Chain A
Amino acid sequence: MSGSDVNINIHHVTRVEGHGNIVVDVKNGELKEIKLEIVESPRFFEAMVVGRRFSEAVHITSRICGICAVSHTNASIKSVEDALGIKPTWQTETLRRILAAAEVIDSHALHAFFLAAPDFVRLPSVIPLIGKSPEIVKIAVNMKKLSHDICDVIAGRHTHPISMAVDGFTNLVSEEQMHDLQAKIKQTLENDVPKAVEFFSKLKIPWFERRTDYVCLTHPGEYAFYDGTIKSSETGEYRHRDYKLKIAERVVDHSTAKHTYGPVKPYMVGALSRFNNNYDQLTPQAKEAAGELKLTPQNHNPYYITLAQLVEIVHCLEWSAGLIEELLSRGIKDEREERPPISGWSVNLPDVKKSWGVGVTEAPRGLLIHEYRIDDNGLIDSANCITPTAQNLANIESDMRKLVPEIIREPKDEIELLLEMLVRAYDPCISCSAHILKVNFVE
């Protein structure tokens, strides 16, 4: 029906991290305005780390986000190590990879089961879902518990990991603990994964397509989460230190989160980008799950992000089981005496020269970049941090711009639901994105 007016204002989108509003204004059938307002209070992390010693940034920037704290920690540490020219040991990096995998499992399980799934069965939250599909909720609880167990053992806890430090860990895991974790992971793969895949394969996913630029890390040896070079499906690969040539941040009026643009246009990061770009490197069981979910590479429907997350859960389970296997076969060593981890408040810190570094990693929601400049006293004199949700915001708005005309004939609450579901599909971590750091570097 052309000529209609639609006015949508969804205040504080629920079941996402942080505060965001969706505003749609259609006058006489013509789209006047569409935006995703980010109203989260700004937090100024980039400014907060200025004047801090390089080793202290980790525990501050971890507090950017409660859900992807491991990823922020990894990015922060990697940025410092990049600046200082430190190459951590294989054991350290393997443990970090396992933690990254655990975080993906936790975050995706939270999103797919607790936050997104209720939409598909038209429930307001996971609480009534407990009564309706107790088994599914239980699976999510198990998966979350598993990933928390992994993080507890390796890093002390999941939200704001403790023992991860520059060049190592301040604690030492035992082989017994790792054996236990491995057994639990295998159980989950065996018992929970098939049921979860079956549940999601039956959900009806809204149909909508918009091809965009898919951006993520890529690594020759693995489906990249922890490390790699940045890959754009449209413009190719580039080194982490060159990110600024490709990504531009822009402050927009309606958002306390800055928007980012690729060299040409908005782009997407996160599970679907990784899936599209790195499909070949998924583990066998993950590929199998993708098959069952009818998810094939070069998928352009953002509502499918949730399914790509499920595939990644399976991948991360299998991947981390493999990593633990390798860790155990090499034997776990106490490396702390020889290579003392540089924790924030170490009494003896190494001398540092003026330097800069960039740390990139894949958070559950996509590419995460930390960049620090360190002065001659070892103090940080500027920082930049680009979170995945910030990178997705412009892309979400582009999706909405294409979607609204397609569904304009639907009843208003259906439009609202589809828009909310679209935003939720990106699993935006708004608390994260509002902590965006500096635009201009002090050059």
Chain B
Amino acid sequence: MEKPKVAFFEFTCCEGCQLTVLSLGDKLLDLFESVDVVNFREASSYRGQDYEIAFIEGSISTSKDIDRIREIRKKAKICVALGSCAHIAGVNAIKNFHNQLEVKKRVYGEKAWAFDSILAQPIDAVIKVDYVIPGCPIDKKEFLCVAASISNGVRPFIPEYSVCVECKMKGNVCVYHKPNPIVCMGPITRAGCGAACPSVGNACEGCRGLVSDPNLEAYEGVLEEHGISADDKMRFYRMYNGLVGGVK
């Protein structure tokens, strides 16, 4: 069987997802053996233009990005959004909720005008995305499973259920039930991370995006019960899910 040709590309992001791939350990060597990595700027000087599967990391946040990602889409058979930035615009979208000129000025002062910057968007705002590997950063195990599924010609499994499922499976004390409670987005967030955050005692911040049918009304009831103000609530949603429909 011919090895699938794979490329990695990054847009606006911290490149933590590609680094996660580079940190697969022994499995990284298996990956390099099983697929033909033709483009991986972070790890290689070789830049092949002939690829079938494109893993795309990062958000669209400059006008130049739009042309570049369209080019990639033209060449690739399968485009996979890698990580929150590509999937739901990630933390990049936080700036969308500020005054845009102000944002630029805060960082670049008088020269703000010189910098190309548009509202941060997930890549599916510009191109058709075949599959998504959610997370900030992606989960190593999930990446491998998805990569294997795709090279096997199978639609990868991404859980539809909530983070609470995985959190409970691990037997964690729910962070809402601790002596110093923390509010957690687990009940409405898509699982697949193995409840990484609550498992070490912190809140799920929703980096994998919401489940397909989140009950936001019920969720807001829970937040209210814990004395979370409307402002707090919005900031919470706007860690990762500011762009999600239904969040008011």
B130 at the interface (CB under 8 A from A): no
CB within 8 Å of A: which of B1-54? 11-20, 22-23, 25-26, 28-29, 32, 37, 40-47
Query: Judging by beta carbons under 8 Å apart, are B94 and A14 in contact?
Result: no
Chain B 98-141, CB within 8 Å of chain A: the 1/0 string?
A: 10001110111111001101000000000000000000110000
In angstroms, Cα B17 to Cα A59, docked, is 16
Chain B residue numbers with a CB within 8 Å of A346 are 180-182
Chain A 38-63, CB within 8 Å of chain B: the 1/0 string?
A: 00111110111011110010011001
In angstroms, Cα B117 to Cα A106, docked, is 32
Q: A162-B200, A344-B203, A431-B13 are in contact. Are A66 and B137 (CB under 8 A)?
A: yes
In angstroms, Cα B13 to Cα A431, docked, is 7
B20: which of A115, A159, A258, A431 is its contact (CB, 8 Å)?
A159
Query: Judging by beta carbons under 8 Å apart, are B107 and A437 in contact?
Result: yes
Q: Which of A150-158, A261-269, A308-316, A392-400 contacts B (4 or more CB under 8 A)?
A: A150-158
In angstroms, Cα B181 to Cα A345, docked, is 9
Q: How far is the CB of A38 from chain B (nearest CB, A)?
A: 11
B184 at the interface (CB under 8 A from A): yes
B151 at the interface (CB under 8 A from A): no
In angstroms, Cα B152 to Cα A47, docked, is 43
Query: Judging by beta carbons under 8 Å apart, are B226 and A347 in contact?
Result: yes
> Which B-chain residue is minimally distant from A161 (CB atoms)?
B200
In angstroms, Cα B40 to Cα A16, docked, is 11
State how many residues of chain B have any CB contact under 8 Å with chain A: 71
Query: Judging by beta carbons under 8 Å apart, are A163 and B205 in contact?
Result: no
Q: How far is the CB of B121 from chain A (nearest CB, A)?
A: 12
B72 at the interface (CB under 8 A from A): no
A260 at the interface (CB under 8 A from B): no
28 A-B pairs with CB atoms under 8 Å apart are: A15-B41, A16-B42, A41-B62, A50-B98, A50-B106, A51-B98, A59-B205, A63-B16, A67-B15, A67-B16, A69-B16, A110-B19, A114-B22, A115-B43, A124-B46, A126-B43, A127-B37, A141-B29, A157-B137, A159-B23, A160-B136, A169-B201, A251-B110, A336-B201, A345-B236, A346-B182, A347-B180, A382-B106
Given contacts A44-B95, A144-B23, 18 further A-B contacts (CB under 8 A): A16-B42, A41-B12, A44-B107, A50-B98, A50-B106, A67-B16, A69-B14, A69-B16, A141-B25, A155-B200, A159-B16, A160-B136, A160-B137, A162-B200, A162-B202, A163-B200, A170-B202, A347-B182
